[in-house]
Structure 1
Amino acid sequence: MTSIQQIDTVEHAAATRDHPQPYRELGLKDDEYQRIRDILGRRPTDAELAMYSVMWSEHCSYKSSKVHLRYFGETTTPQMREKMLAGIGENAGVVDVGDGWAVTFKVESHNHPSYVEPYQGAATGVGGIVRDILAMGARPLAVMDPLRFGPADAPDTRRVLPGVVAGIGGYGNCLGLPNIGGEVVFDPSYAGNPLVNALCVGAMRVEDLHLAHATGVGNKIILFGARTGLDGIGGVSVLASDTFSGEETGPGRKKLPSVQVGDPFTEKVLIECCLELFREGLVVGIQDLGGAGLSCATSELASAGDGGMRVELDRVPLRAEGMTPAEILSSESQERMCAVVRPSDVDAFMRVCDRWEVTATEIGEVTEGDRLVITWHGETVVDVPPRTVAHQGPVYRRPVQRPTDQDALRANIPDALPRPSTPDDLRDTVLRMAASPNLCSRRWVTQQYDHYVRGGTVLAQPADAGMIRIDETTGRGVAVSTDCNGRYVRLDPYAGTQLALAEAYRNVAVTGATPVAVTNCLNFGSPEDPGVMWQFEQAVRGLADGCVALGIPVTGGNVSFYNQTGSTAILPTPVVGVLGVIDDVRRRIPTGIGGQAGDALLLLGETRDEFGGSEWAHVVHGHLGGRPPAVDMAREKLLAEILVAGSRDGMVSAAHDLSEGGLAQALVEAVLIDETGCRIAPPDGVDLFVWLFSESAGRVLVTVPRTEEPRFTDMCTMRGLPWTRIGVVDPDARALEIQGVGSIGVAELRETWEGTLPALFD
């Protein structure tokens, strides 16, 4: 943001209509700037220009995605909305999970800031999503982090990944929030544009739900938390609304906005302060200050209210001298909240803040009319209709065109790739796959996170889904999982997105929880590319249609465009998060093999020859082409119902989802999670390579006690779910024994699986 030396008032702006302004440098197009002038009937002041530029950015206004995102609302049925207390458009989605409890969850992106400054970019991504959950009135309970980087052995990945992981761990650990899951994926498309998505989940009593609105004429606006500084001016709102040129880190790099600087200890105190304010009933409306800072908080609160707002900007506590109104409004300094408070409650509000040593300042009030008026030392620097800033920005129907290479990509099927057939070759392939960057152990990453702080964690890495207890009395809990295979989405955006939904849904179900709601973070390239917009449109429709088939709603999410370097876009990556509910966490299904000697290992679902976009084709042959695995939402729903029933009736002692790497990888991970062995016997007549490495969807490996095997298999048969008995648990073997492949000892498997990331990043 350009520093403005002379304060530009509304009066001055009206008198100098032709005064040139740097609107292009702030990301506004000619027609957008002219529209602002038309709205105001004059040129904007420098402060107004700053507000419109950040609020009309792609990151804040969703101007290229709105026309497509409406499809979520159009397809959500009354039955899907039944348990949804807050949805798209709020800070985070909220669902009623029973017994008077509500759970809120959301995932957002902090991609470009994390490339520019990995530690602070990732840390403030965690801080921002936590405040979104807090702003709904909930106590944040846990975080997750879906991450994607360039090639694991690339020099820049060695720069970015350790900083990102340290930032996530540093901020989350200091907040005292467990990290219960996520993803780490490597692909050349993410080189120069990593994806750092952050999810938070929180819980509250249903009656404690809070929304972001400024209602009640005369109610006071109180800014509380950290002081406002020059860090993060323009920050994520600008960084996330443009494409990297490829020279950001070189000698000729362009000037970038500063990345926000986080202080988790300030946020920890802010969380406790907010929760006490909620308990005491001292808050009418509340909004966190994240992307676009005060510009967002003031305009959105006023826009969602029943009147206008007046703000005295010179009352904002600052930590830098000489800041201008435009800089104060655009600053994305962290750990700040903005509350609407009744005049009679202001003293009590301030006492709570004082007790927690949180800086709090009354900066304005709700007014009659429909104007947001901001003054600076008595001079008016902003006088705008707030909805035009917050909710009436540009809406673009970008050109949509199927990429010209899509047919060739789909035609490049992997069927002709050489496949291993001998026992030695198959054994070597099992080990090679287990050691590959996308399938190897994430322990080097996850050991830097605290999984069990607060004492509510029930399942965490490397479980298929994270699970936390939300009610100590009843044991009620929730499970959360995120997923996306960008290669699948590149091959078929509609089906690939449904595969992401299906796997996240399945990961929740294998814990014994019932999936109830969806959030998303839609990471794509430039919306100015018609091919990217085709991918985006198809992904949105695939996700919405999949949710209808499963009967669960999309409660909110995030769109992240411009994820590309120069003309090279990332793989389309619509990360899907699914939330599930379990009435008693004591009946959870653990991930792994578990069980006792002789317990049955069953493979649920059907295996087909499906290798388009597979990890085997990628790792062994560097191939991407063909069609992704078929997805059947009705089958996924049936599978989930059977897993939940198996959990409720004590018929399943362990389970593990099958996804990347197929059955072979699931067996490797299950054996290592439980440090036990098993003996596997493939069915007669199967192609052993296909059986082991296919990535067909809708499959789960379950362990069933011998006493429960007839009852469980009868249930599967009666409900039409295919199942196959493939082996038994054998703890004494201390090996994965596969008939036709051979025996691989637990020690060899562990060395292979866990050695990759430490060798690359230690």
Structure 2
Amino acid sequence: MKSDTAAAPQPVAVTPELLAQHSITAEEYSRILGALGRTPSLTELGIYSVMWSEHCSYKSSRVHLKRLPTKSDRVVQGPGENAGIIDVGDGWACAFKIESHNHPSYIEPFQGAATGVGGILRDIFTMNARPLAVMDSLRFGPIEKSLSSRPERSEAEGPAVSNGLSDEIIRKNHSILEGVVHGIAAYGNCFGVPNLGGETRFEPCYSGNPLVNAFALGLVRRDEIFYAKASGIGNPVIYVGAKTGRDGIHGATMASEEFKEGSEQKRPNVQVGDPFMEKLLLEACLEVMKPGTGKTSPIVGIQDMGAAGLTSSGCEMGARGGVGLELNLDHVPQRETKMTAYEMMLSESQERMLLVAEKGREQEVFDIFLKWGLDAKIVGTVIAEPRLRVLHKGVVEADIPNQSLTDDAPRYNRPIGTWKAPVPLDPPAEVLEELKKPRDYTADLKKLLASSNICDKRWVFEQYDSMVQTNTVQGPGAEAGVMRIKGTNRGLAMALAGNGRWCYLDPKLGAMHAVAEAARKVACTGATPVAATNCLNFGNPEKPEIMAQLSEAIDGIAEAAAALGTPITGGNVSLYNETRGEGIYPTPVLGIVGILDDVTKAVPASFQRAGDAIILLSGVTTLVPEGNLRGFGSSEFAKTLLGCQWGAPPELDVEDDEAILQYFLIKMSKEGLLHSASDVSDGGIAVAIARATQPLGIGANVDLSDIDTTHVRSPLSAPKTPAALVLFAEYSSQAVITCDPSDADRICKEFGLMAVKIGTTGGDALTIKYGQAAISGPLGSILEPWSQSLEQTLHDHTANEVLA
């Protein structure tokens, strides 16, 4: 298909207002003029607008992302493709990636979240990988006013500390939570991919700016991977999938701006998903990529039409192949009338793909997509000139060098300021005094278990189908999702972690913790962590302090990922997460993938039988006494029970403590010695033990009084250490494991750091002692707040709305 006219696109009258509407600066417009050598058309201006947006170009973060480790012997495809790929053995490879859909999920929670799932799934099967599982990392504003409710609070002290949010904001947070969860469930369940859980957290800073990060993983034969690369001059470019509408126009640009007054009116910028259409698209794409009898697949290259739609798929496929694409929009399937070239190029209608096929084999493609009831139309040709040329009704609407849209897009080395969280390093004197007083630690544990960040998220994950495809070994509620690779002994584990509050206090250390925790969760199952993907959720990069957060977090991820052997194979950067100038916590979320050589040896998180020995495994460098109290200020206990925040995240020795802990967990698992293993994180040891009693209802009798009293660096040996710091502090590099009593001494001896038998499993009660302090009660009584808190809060909200 060749242009029948050499005429340049019709220039548009460019005004400051028009540039502002397209989020293009005066400096960037000058670069456009230089790249084109003329005034752009309106369609060209729109194309530059989306391709130079933060969402597509990473113009503020790309210079920093280069510091991330991206290679290992297992990495087949690193950053730059639709998804990262690693070799998992037995001829199989794993494609995986995490993406954000934050801004759309605020404007239209159901569709925003649903299309976030749809988009990440397309990234996976575009590589010819069948999606095996998804997980989600979700952040919302509080859904209740109480931030702290100390059980011993007297009337003289007044009511529980409020988070200061209005009833209107609380209602909005409820609406967003319910819409997002329902959207994720609706899309994933209809598509037929298991959701293995993830993490759901609540903090005031996410009111008005929720985070919806979707993590997907799929399997592909190592020698059957497809890439988003165009080649073969004269090869046809084929549009397949759903018809194009006006939904999602400028969606990428919207995702690159902070929210202001009136942002909720941008619903037309939010895409509308159809999971049943996507299921058809999946099967058709996998079939067309499958080699035929005695011949190869007719497909040369393939890319999802995600952010920026036809624009990004067209110019990126051409740029990767060093060729160009000429598109004729007259042939684009449309579901609306009188669509302009501008609208068709910028539409982000869902469930669409762009293919490059071998010339002469077009009918093979048409036949397969017709079989699945999908549109398949030739809309262009591969050309030698490395340009994106767009025709519509015989007119050249755009003619742009690919390079100017991709590799030559703006790259900003924005000013990096300094970041210091506006919180004290040491606790207030009154908090110290309160910690010294006798407390009802059983009541404290119940309050923590009921808190929004720790409570059972069953209301969320029970809406997801976690067993479809019959590959799930461990699903929601486990430390990590575990799936079998059918036809082999192998399995895959996947986990998510991120703590925005810790990154707010110390971006680098908080980001290191995210890598370490996600990898630790994978290691608790017995899988070896081998690779990572990250989603970097931050505020406005034009503010030097935000760039400081981003740069420091990337340094933290780089250091921890290198130390743990988990290179970053790709991911996503989501900036401008601000509403009316108020930013979110810096929130890097890490997804880790691990490999199990024998999936039948996958270790569960919960206690499995009565009479087992309970052992605490812990690093030592992170437990230096002087750091305890400062680290305690970043804990859920400090937030929920004390109503204040201070200090910094717990110290972390990722090269020694963390790496040794994970190695040991994997080694003991392979030897079949572990009956259960759970990460110690939110809420500390007491919460980890309490949660491990579920779902089987196996109690425990634990005594922490004698933990390594000979270890001079152990804080737990200090006689004046407040019991709260032992029971509820969130030290790094810790795990609670159970084993046969006959193996306990061997395990404690072989672990190179600190391993202490702290109790036994059994009964229907939970007892945890530390000196004179004790937690004690029937499991039903202690765990009831944990199991009912979230659902009860949502029920109360619904009831109040009805009464109102």
Q: TM-score, normalised by structure 1?
A: 0.94
For residues 125 and 16 of structure 1, the distance between their equivalents in structure 2, rounded to whole angstroms, comes to 34
Change (3 A) 1:49 1:696: same
Quick one: which amino acid aligns to residue 678 of structure 1? A
| Equivalent position of 1:5 in the other structure | none
Encode CA deviations 1:68-118: one digit per residue, 9 max, x unaligned: 11112xx55xxx422111111111110011111100111110001000000
Which residue among 754, 761, 765 is the counterpart of 1:722?
Answer: 754
**1:22 Cα shift?**
1.6
For residues 514 and 186 of structure 2, the distance between their equivalents in structure 1, rounded to whole angstroms, comes to 29
| Equivalent position of 2:569 in the other structure | 555
Q: Does structure 1 residue 647 correspond to structure 2 residue 669?
A: yes
The alignment's C-alpha RMSD in Å is 1.9
Question: Any conservation in 1 of the 2:614–2:736 contact (CA below 8 Å)?
Answer: no
- Among all aligned residue pairs of Structure 1 and Structure 2, give the percentage whose two residues are the same amino acid: 42
**1:549 Cα shift?**
1.4
| Equivalent position of 2:161 in the other structure | none
Q: Does structure 1 residue 63 correspond to structure 2 residue 64?
A: no
For residues 192 and 329 of structure 2, the distance between their equivalents in structure 1, rounded to whole angstroms, comes to 33
For residues 63 and 424 of structure 1, the distance between their equivalents in structure 2, rounded to whole angstroms, comes to 52
Q: How does 1:118-197 map to 2 (within 5 A)?
A: 118-153=109-144, 154-197=170-213
Q: Is there any run of 5+ residues in structure 2 with no aligned partner, and where? A: 145-169, 292-296, 707-716, 796-804
For residues 745 and 278 of structure 1, the distance between their equivalents in structure 2, rounded to whole angstroms, comes to 57
Quick one: which amino acid aligns to residue 365 of structure 1? T
Question: Any conservation in 1 of the 2:606–2:691 contact (CA below 8 Å)?
Answer: yes
| Equivalent position of 1:96 in the other structure | 87
Question: Any conservation in 1 of the 2:690–2:766 contact (CA below 8 Å)?
Answer: no
Encode CA deviations 1:284-341: one digit per residue, 9 max, x unaligned: 1110011100010101011111322211111000000011000000000000011110
Quick one: which amino acid aligns to residue 756 of structure 1? S
The 3-state SS of whatever aligns with 1:411 is coil
For residues 513 and 18 of structure 1, the distance between their equivalents in structure 2, rounded to whole angstroms, comes to 57
Q: Does structure 1 residue 626 correspond to structure 2 residue 622?
A: no
Q: Does structure 1 residue 539 correspond to structure 2 residue 574?
A: no
**1:11 Cα shift?**
3.8
Quick one: which amino acid aligns to residue 467 of structure 1? V
Question: Any conservation in 2 of the 1:238–1:257 contact (CA below 8 Å)?
Answer: no
| Equivalent position of 1:493 in the other structure | 507
Q: Does structure 1 residue 745 correspond to structure 2 residue 745?
A: no
Q: Does structure 1 residue 25 correspond to structure 2 residue 1?
A: no
**1:360 Cα shift?**
0.6
**1:394 Cα shift?**
0.9
Quick one: which amino acid aligns to residue 219 of structure 1? N
| Equivalent position of 1:367 in the other structure | 383
For residues 84 and 529 of structure 2, the distance between their equivalents in structure 1, rounded to whole angstroms, comes to 15
Change (3 A) 1:12 1:339: closer
| Equivalent position of 2:350 in the other structure | 334
Q: How does 1:646-725 map to 2 (within 5 A)?
A: 646-684=668-706, 687=721, 688-716=723-751, 720-725=752-757
The 3-state SS of whatever aligns with 2:501 is helix
Deviating more after overlay: 144-153 vs 615-624? 615-624
For residues 747 and 534 of structure 1, the distance between their equivalents in structure 2, rounded to whole angstroms, comes to 47
Change (3 A) 1:267 1:479: same
Which residue among 386, 401, 414 is the counterpart of 1:398?
Answer: 414
Deviating more after overlay: 203-212 vs 389-398? 389-398
For residues 590 and 581 of structure 1, the distance between their equivalents in structure 2, rounded to whole angstroms, comes to 15
**1:17 Cα shift?**
7.4
Q: Does structure 1 residue 468 correspond to structure 2 residue 501?
A: no
The 3-state SS of whatever aligns with 1:690 is helix
Quick one: which amino acid aligns to residue 729 of structure 1? T
Q: Does structure 1 residue 279 correspond to structure 2 residue 290?
A: yes
Q: How does 1:419-430 map to 2 (within 5 A)?
A: 419-420=434-435, 425-430=440-445
Quick one: which amino acid aligns to residue 356 of structure 1? W
For residues 749 and 514 of structure 2, the distance between their equivalents in structure 1, rounded to whole angstroms, comes to 30
| Equivalent position of 1:6 in the other structure | none
Change (3 A) 1:35 1:706: same
Question: Any conservation in 2 of the 1:216–1:306 contact (CA below 8 Å)?
Answer: no
For residues 183 and 764 of structure 2, the distance between their equivalents in structure 1, rounded to whole angstroms, comes to 41
Q: Does structure 1 residue 232 correspond to structure 2 residue 252?
A: no
For residues 357 and 522 of structure 1, the distance between their equivalents in structure 2, rounded to whole angstroms, comes to 38
Quick one: which amino acid aligns to residue 761 of structure 1? L
| Equivalent position of 1:3 in the other structure | none
Encode CA deviations 1:507-526: one digit per residue, 9 max, x unaligned: 00000000000100000000
Which residue among 316, 332, 337 is the counterpart of 1:316?
Answer: 332
**1:674 Cα shift?**
2.5
Quick one: which amino acid aligns to residue 546 of structure 1? A
Q: How does 1:405-484 map to 2 (within 5 A)?
A: 405-406=420-421, 408-409=422-423, 411-413=425-427, 417-418=431-432, 419-420=434-435, 425-470=440-485, 472-484=486-498
Q: Does structure 1 residue 217 correspond to structure 2 residue 263?
A: no
| Equivalent position of 1:49 in the other structure | 45
The 3-state SS of whatever aligns with 2:287 is helix
Quick one: which amino acid aligns to residue 27 of structure 1? S
| Equivalent position of 2:634 in the other structure | 613
| Equivalent position of 2:658 in the other structure | 636
Deviating more after overlay: 732-741 vs 509-518? 732-741
| Equivalent position of 2:539 in the other structure | 525
For residues 466 and 639 of structure 1, the distance between their equivalents in structure 2, rounded to whole angstroms, comes to 20
| Equivalent position of 1:733 in the other structure | 764
Q: Is there any run of 5+ residues in structure 1 with no aligned partner, and where? A: 1-8
Question: Any conservation in 1 of the 2:764–2:779 contact (CA below 8 Å)?
Answer: no
Quick one: which amino acid aligns to residue 211 of structure 2? L
**1:758 Cα shift?**
1.1
**1:409 Cα shift?**
2.6
Change (3 A) 1:442 1:18: closer
For residues 133 and 11 of structure 2, the distance between their equivalents in structure 1, rounded to whole angstroms, comes to 53
For residues 564 and 58 of structure 2, the distance between their equivalents in structure 1, rounded to whole angstroms, comes to 27
Change (3 A) 1:430 1:351: same
Encode CA deviations 1:460-508: one digit per residue, 9 max, x unaligned: 11001111112x2222111011111111101111111001111001000
Question: Any conservation in 2 of the 1:601–1:725 contact (CA below 8 Å)?
Answer: yes
For residues 10 and 458 of structure 1, the distance between their equivalents in structure 2, rounded to whole angstroms, comes to 60
For residues 733 and 311 of structure 1, the distance between their equivalents in structure 2, rounded to whole angstroms, comes to 68
Quick one: which amino acid aligns to residue 464 of structure 1? E
| Equivalent position of 1:4 in the other structure | none
For residues 15 and 261 of structure 2, the distance between their equivalents in structure 1, rounded to whole angstroms, comes to 34
**1:714 Cα shift?**
2.6
Encode CA deviations 1:604-640: one digit per residue, 9 max, x unaligned: 4345623131111111233222111011112111111
Quick one: which amino acid aligns to residue 262 of structure 1? G
**1:710 Cα shift?**
2.8
Quick one: which amino acid aligns to residue 777 of structure 2? I
For residues 12 and 465 of structure 2, the distance between their equivalents in structure 1, rounded to whole angstroms, comes to 57
For residues 574 and 519 of structure 2, the distance between their equivalents in structure 1, rounded to whole angstroms, comes to 22
The 3-state SS of whatever aligns with 2:200 is strand
Deviating more after overlay: 364-373 vs 296-305? 364-373
| Equivalent position of 2:273 in the other structure | 262
Quick one: which amino acid aligns to residue 694 of structure 1? A
**1:416 Cα shift?**
5.5
Encode CA deviations 1:539-573: one digit per residue, 9 max, x unaligned: 01110111111122110010000001122110000
**1:734 Cα shift?**
3.7
Question: Any conservation in 2 of the 1:672–1:746 contact (CA below 8 Å)?
Answer: no
For residues 396 and 372 of structure 1, the distance between their equivalents in structure 2, rounded to whole angstroms, comes to 24
Change (3 A) 1:268 1:317: same
For residues 596 and 465 of structure 2, the distance between their equivalents in structure 1, rounded to whole angstroms, comes to 23
For residues 15 and 618 of structure 2, the distance between their equivalents in structure 1, rounded to whole angstroms, comes to 70
